[in-house]
Structure 1
C-alpha cells in the first residue's frame, strides 16, 4: 500500500573530474556513516550510496530534511553535492527499508528535480506540497549554499573552530592571527546571515504537521 514519506536524493557535483578517487570515496562513506548515526531516529531508510556519486534516503518526517542535507554538505567539504527533498508516495519495496530498492512518485519527482537543478547549477530543491513555502525554502537554501561554497579553506577552518568554542581569542591563538582578523574572516564569509538564514529554514520545517 502506498505511503507518503520524505525522500532525499543527492548528487555529487562533477564527480567524474575528481582525481583522488580513494580519498573521495573514503570521505563519501565516512560522511554517510556519520550522518546516518547522528540522525538515526529520523531515518525510515538510512542514506545509501548509489553508483558512487549519488545518495538517497527516506525520512520518517520532513522536519530534519534540511539539517541532514546541510550537515552532509559541510562534512563533505571540499567536495560539493546538490540535494532534492520531496514529500510524496512510495509504493515499491517500502518494507525493505532500503532506499536503493524503493520507488514511487516521491523518487520520480526527486530525480526529475535533480536533473532540473543540475541544468540550472543549483544546490537545492524542496517539494513538500506547498508551492509558496517550497519556493521560499529553495531560494534561501540555494543562496546560503552559494555563499558557503565560496568560503576559502581558511575561512571554513576559522568558522568551524569559532562555532565549537564561541571565543574569538581561542581561534586567534590557534591560527596565530589577531582577534580582528578572526572577526574580519567571519564578516567576509557572511557567517551570521548564513546561520540566521539556515535557522529560518529549520524553523519553518519544524512547523510542518
Structure 2
C-alpha cells in the first residue's frame, strides 16, 4: 500500500573525527533530539545507521516536517554538533520492517540528495516530485543553509525555544538570561527569515506530493 510521507535523511558533519567521549555525547544528543520530536509528532519514526547517520519518516502533519527538521538541527547545533538534512516528499511504495530498507519516491527524494548536499557543502534540502516546486525550494534551502551555517550554540538555543513555542520572555527565563539577549540572539540567527520559510513550507506542503 502506497503512503504519502516525508522522509528526512541526516548525518552529523565530521563525526568520524570525534573521540570516544565526544561520540558518547553525540549519541546522547541524538537520542534526546529524536525523543523531543517524537513527543511532538507521534508519526515520527527514526533509525540510525553507520553510527552518525539517520533516516526518519513522518506520515502525518507533513506541513510540520521542516519545523521538526530545524528542531533536530538546533538541538544538535546547541551542543556544537553540526548536521545536514535532506527532506524528501512523496510516496512510500515499499514498507520494510526497517526504515532504511524501505523504498519509494519519498526515499529517493531524500537519501540521494544528502550526497548532493555534501558535494555542494549545503546543510538542508527539500525535494519532491514536482520540478517547479523543487526549483523554488532550492532557493529557500540555500538561504537556510547560509543562515544556519553561521549559528552559534547560543543562537541555536534561542531558535530552538522559538520552535518549541516559547515567547522571548519565557525563553529568557528558561535560559536564565534577559529578554533583550534572547532578541539579539534571534536576530543574529536569522529568525525572521526562518519564520517566513517555515510559513511557506506549511502553505506548500499539500502540493508537495
Q: TM > 0.5 between the two?
A: yes
* Aligned CA distance change for structure 1 residues 203 and 188 (closer, same or farther; 3 Å): same
* Aligned CA distance change for structure 1 residues 110 and 164 (closer, same or farther; 3 Å): closer
Structure 2 counterparts to residues 128-167 of structure 1, below 5 A: 128-158=128-158, 164-167=166-169
CA contact (8 A) 2:11 2:52 kept: yes
Aligned residue pairs total 201
Q: How much does 1:66 deviate? A: 1.2
CA contact (8 A) 1:9 1:111 kept: yes
CA contact (8 A) 1:126 1:135 kept: no
* SS of residue in 1 equivalent to 2:63: coil
2:200 is equivalent to residue 200 of structure 1? yes
- CA distance in 2: counterparts of 1:169 and 1:116, whole angstroms: 36
Instruction: Report the equivalent of 2:49.
Output: 50
CA contact (8 A) 1:168 1:183 kept: no
Larger radius of gyration: 1
Bigger shift: residues 181-190 or 62-71 = 181-190
Gaps of 5+ in 2: none
Instruction: Report the equivalent of 1:34.
Output: 36
Structure 2 counterparts to residues 25-174 of structure 1, below 5 A: 25-40=27-42, 42-43=43-44, 46-61=45-60, 62-77=62-77, 78-92=80-94, 94=95, 96=97, 98-158=98-158, 164-167=166-169, 174=176
Q: How much does 1:187 deviate? A: 3.1
**TM-score normalised by length of structure 1:** 0.77
CA contact (8 A) 1:86 1:126 kept: yes
CA contact (8 A) 1:48 1:99 kept: yes
Q: How much does 1:88 deviate? A: 3.9
**TM-score normalised by length of structure 2:** 0.77
- Residue by residue over 1:95-122, the C-alpha shift from the partner in whole angstroms, topping out at 9 and shown as x without a partner, is 63x3133234543443321111111011
- Residue by residue over 1:52-95, the C-alpha shift from the partner in whole angstroms, topping out at 9 and shown as x without a partner, is 11111222253332122111111122212212222344444x16
* Aligned CA distance change for structure 1 residues 16 and 90 (closer, same or farther; 3 Å): same
CA contact (8 A) 1:168 1:182 kept: no
Instruction: Report the equivalent of 2:6.
Output: 6
CA contact (8 A) 1:67 1:202 kept: no
- Residue by residue over 1:165-202, the C-alpha shift from the partner in whole angstroms, topping out at 9 and shown as x without a partner, is 4339956x943x694x6554443333322323322223
